[in-house]
Amino acid sequence: MLTLNLKDGSVLNAEFTVTSNTDYPGPPSPVAVQFSGLLFVPENQTYDVQLTMSSPELVKYIKISIWDTKGGAKAAEYVFNDPVNFNTFNIPTDKLTVGRDYQMRIIAVSRADDTPYAISRDNR
């Protein structure tokens, strides 16, 4: 039911149905995170992970996990509290081995209830 209250005080009511050929699992996440860059810092042998985030006030912390792709084990995990709109997180390389393949997993955790926000990767 759609109800419109008009300026003249009258009310319009109408029933309607939305039909779609796409399944929508729910509303989009209130927090959007964009992976902006990964830079190697040779002076201290670390990586700077750059993330841009909408609504950082909703996020308690960002967790970045590094996984060994072939071994399937977590190699390292880093937590960064109170993120802002533009973030540069410094990741040490002392837990990484040259020649191995790694995967980075990023989680933004809600300040309100400690649950992770859905962060999707755009493959386009």
- For 57-77, the pLDDT digits (tens) are 999 999 999 999 988 899 999
Q: Rounded to the nearest 5°, which phi and psi values hold at 56?
A: -65, -20
Distance CA 115, CA 87 (A): 21
pLDDT at residue number 24: 67
| Model pTM score | 0.71
**Residue 38, strand partner residues:** 49
For the chain, domain boundaries: 30-118
Distance CA 38, CA 58 (A): 24
Strand (E) positions, the chain?
Answer: 2-5, 11-14, 33-41, 46-53, 59-68, 74-81, 86-92, 102-110
What is the CATH code of the structural domain delimited by 30-118? 2.60.40.1940
Residue 51: burial class (beta carbons within 10 Å; 0-12, 13-18, 19+): buried
- For 37-62, the pLDDT digits (tens) are 999 999 999 999 999 999 999 999 99
Where do we find the tokens 């060994």? 68
SS3 10: coil
pLDDT at residue number 101: 93
